[in-house]
A and B are shown apart, each in its own frame.
Chain A
Amino acid sequence: MSLETIEFKVAGDGRAVSLARRAHCGVVGSGDLEVMLEPKAGDSAVSVRIVTPVTGFDALWKRVVEHFVAETGLAGLSIEINDNNASPAIVALRLRQALAEAQA
């Protein structure tokens, strides 16, 4: 019983859409998660850090975030997620919600 930390980077597809400002959304309730997006300087990659009590879903996390980055063209930001058993659909929804708030 320990928290799993998954860290990886996503290169992006060269469109390099930058984030206007940082954003936070969601609550780590049962089946939900907290997402923080923050612009970062000096590196065009998207850094990802996920903290979750669930193990064995690293590949799925990576696919969900890669899809989000490909869809939005984002670059040069960090994504941090605190998760509590969220499904991939909820993860994708929260990522889009956080982005909408950062660009509102």
Chain B
Amino acid sequence: MPNWNRLQKNSFLECSARERAVGLVDDGTFVELGGPFDRLVSPHLVALGEAVENDDGIVTGVGRIGDRPVFVISQEGRFIGGSVGEVGGAKMVGIIDMAIDFHDRLVADHPDLPASARPLVAISFETGGVRLHEANAGLLAHAEVMDALQRARHKVPVVALIGSRIGCFGGMGFVAAATDAIIMSEFGRLGLTGPEVIEQEMGKDEFDASNRALVYRTTGGRHKYVMGDANFLVDDTVAAFRAQLAELCKLPVASFEPMRRIGSPELVEKQLRGVALAVELKPTDARDVWRHAGNNDPVGLADGPLSDFRKSVRRLAL
């Protein structure tokens, strides 16, 4: 087990899934459920003769932040790109459902339980989305996680944390968008189709995936924060992600509703205003949108220190 105090200062970007899971909750409280010793191996990979891993690339478990039980899902990008297949998806659903069941029982027994003692789910994404080896089983796993998020809604807040190497792409980009709140670092990346895939399908003229500045100003944390796709932009340390999560742990579930991106007629209206703006503005680069949001020097803003960015950035109002 990694040393918790040392872990707090570490770069979130460089942490393994297990380190993130341990570091996000209070010292010594994380208990892994469905861990490697339970040997939940993907049968599809075995059938294909592909290397397997005993946790299938996802760490699941429960810990505490203060009085709040925090159910944790943490994806490991180094195992097949953090891809989600049948077993990994089932582990995610199992933990979310466990949080919901626990919530229902707690509230039935203690109707006056304060928000700060009710369960919350934290998902640390590091994934390219569906595990293509597992075909429909992988796609179905994504749908089941989305269903679980719907069941959790208005009961158990689900918080996404995005700041790991692979980012959060593919079907899991949809899943992240369906959570209640998103915390990112500037190195976090969020999207549906990853830069390499766009380049491969549409050509280098459309998107140059080797242009890191372009990739970050299109999918990175700063851009997502301007666009309203991320609710919070934090420093790249375990402690910073944890501090923001701990702030959210104080809030009742109703406070998460205004942080959402999808799930109500008002939010659909807002999305449509975004589409209309795109038609009107015809942006050719993320900088055009930043400028429209009221940022006169988008280049300087993108290149400056994060603390200055947070102080002076104007976010897109729709």
Which residues of B in the span 14-56 have a Cβ within 8 Å of any Cβ on A? 16, 35-37, 46, 48-54
Binary contact track A83-101/B, C-beta < 8 Å → 1, others 0: 1110000000000000001
Binary contact track A1-39/B, C-beta < 8 Å → 1, others 0: 111000000000000000000101001110010101010
Establish whether residues A36 and B54, one from each chain, have CB atoms under 8 Å apart when the complex forms: yes
Q: How far is the CB of B33 from chain A (nearest CB, A)?
A: 14
**Residue A70 at the chain B interface, CB threshold 8 Å:** no
Establish whether residues A53 and B50, one from each chain, have CB atoms under 8 Å apart when the complex forms: yes
**Residue A45 at the chain B interface, CB threshold 8 Å:** no
Q: Which residues of chain B are within 8 angstroms of A29 by Cβ–Cβ distance?
A: 78-79
What CA separation (Å) do A101 and B76 show in the bound complex?
A: 20
**Residue A51 at the chain B interface, CB threshold 8 Å:** yes
What CA separation (Å) do A34 and B78 show in the bound complex?
A: 12
Q: Which residues of chain A are within 8 angstroms of B16 by Cβ–Cβ distance?
A: 27
Which chain A residue has the least Cβ–Cβ distance from B35? A24
User: Which one of A28, A36, A53, A80 has the greatest number of beta carbons of chain B within 10 Å?
Assistant: A28
Q: Which residues of chain A are within 8 angstroms of B78 by Cβ–Cβ distance?
A: 27, 29, 32
**Residue A47 at the chain B interface, CB threshold 8 Å:** no
Number of interface residues of B (CB under 8 A): 17
Known: A3-B46, A53-B49, A82-B52. A36 touches B36 (CB 8 A): yes
Binary contact track B46-81/A, C-beta < 8 Å → 1, others 0: 101111111001000000000000000000101100
What CA separation (Å) do A36 and B35 show in the bound complex?
A: 11
Binary contact track A48-63/B, C-beta < 8 Å → 1, others 0: 0001110000000000
What CA separation (Å) do A32 and B36 show in the bound complex?
A: 16
Establish whether residues B52 and A28, one from each chain, have CB atoms under 8 Å apart when the complex forms: yes
Q: Which residues of chain A are within 8 angstroms of B36 by Cβ–Cβ distance?
A: 24, 34, 36
What CA separation (Å) do A82 and B48 show in the bound complex?
A: 15
Establish whether residues A36 and B51, one from each chain, have CB atoms under 8 Å apart when the complex forms: no
Establish whether residues A53 and B37, one from each chain, have CB atoms under 8 Å apart when the complex forms: no
Establish whether residues B53 and A82, one from each chain, have CB atoms under 8 Å apart when the complex forms: yes
Q: How far is the CB of B55 from chain A (nearest CB, A)?
A: 8
Establish whether residues A34 and B53, one from each chain, have CB atoms under 8 Å apart when the complex forms: yes
Known: A24-B35, A34-B36, A38-B37. A2 touches B49 (CB 8 A): yes
Q: How far is the CB of A7 from chain B (nearest CB, A)?
A: 15
Q: Which residues of chain B are within 8 angstroms of A52 by Cβ–Cβ distance?
A: 51
Establish whether residues B54 and A3, one from each chain, have CB atoms under 8 Å apart when the complex forms: no
Establish whether residues B51 and A84, one from each chain, have CB atoms under 8 Å apart when the complex forms: yes
Which chain B residue has the least Cβ–Cβ distance from A23? B1
Known: A24-B35, A24-B36, A27-B16. A34 touches B54 (CB 8 A): yes
Q: What are the 9 closest A-B residue pairs judged by CB atoms, nearest first?
A: A84-B51, A1-B49, A29-B78, A28-B53, A27-B78, A2-B49, A24-B36, A28-B51, A53-B51
Chain A residues within CB distance 8 Å of chain B: 1-3, 22, 24, 27-29, 32, 34, 36, 38, 51-53, 80, 82-85, 101
Q: Can you list 8 contacts pairing A with B, beta carbon distance less than 8 Å?
A: A27-B76, A27-B78, A34-B54, A36-B54, A51-B51, A53-B51, A82-B53, A83-B51
Chain B residues within CB distance 8 Å of chain A: 1, 16, 35-37, 46, 48-54, 57, 76, 78-79
